[in-house]
Amino acid sequence: MLTRKQLELLDFIQKRMDHDGVPPSFDEMKEALDLRSKSGIHRLVTALEERGFIRRLAHRARAIEIVKLPESMERSRAPAPAFTPRVIEGDRTALPAGAMPVASFQAGDVQAVELPVIGRIAAGAPIEAISDVSQHIAVPGSMLSGRGQHYALEVKGDSMIEAGINDGDIVVIREQSTAENGDIVVALIDGQDATLKRFRRKGNMIALEAANPAYETRVLPDHAVKVQGRLVGLIRSY
């Protein structure tokens, strides 16, 4: 028998995984359940794990797997559309210009598209903006979100680790100049420094939020921040 809060959390995790393919962060769980601290979320997650409803995978950020659902949730749950994971684990294959894309992906749809890797993006303190193509990488076509140009960046730093983005990962970015609150974006600060952060607009100010409590949120005038793209995929090598 689950408590009301445990059911709320399990339902929130399930809906996020159906929609996005990845579980929410502890901060997102805390906000959704209107709790004051993440310690309450830790207790709820532990309780769900002990009762066999979820499984936590060691040494991986945001690694929660739903094992089963209560009968009440199973009955009310609408059939979820087929989901192709946007986090691809496999070989990261750099390609010379003009070469055919070849890569090993653990996903159902492996129709590959070659994207330029235009350098490193800071998930930490901002670094000087980079626009030179350093290599090319093959990614599944299913990872690309909608129309428009896409490119890839190598992540440097750990400020987005609770969003499942680790140092050395490759992020796939759709080029765009606007963002919704909560989007993870490539932001250019004062025309010089580029960073990967979660976007929040607060009046005429922009908050660039880290997903690591060791880093502070940066709040800047909106004229100082230029959105250059939105995160649509992630490739991780081991």
Q: Which residues are catalytic?
A: 159, 197
**Burial per residue of 11-49, b for 16 or more beta-carbon CB atoms within 10 angstroms, e otherwise:** bbbbebbeeeebbbbbbbbbebeebeebebbeebbebbe
175 Cβ contact list (under 8 Å, min separation 6): 148, 149, 150, 151, 228, 229
Q: Using CA atoms, how far apart are residues 61 and 17, in angstroms rounded to an integer?
A: 15
CB atoms within 10 A of CB 119: 20
Transcribe 92-151 into DSSP letters. Answer: --EE-TTPPP---B-SS---EEEEEEEEEEESSS-EE---S--EEEEEEGGGS-SSS-EE
CA distance 28 to 199: 14
44 three-state secondary structure: helix
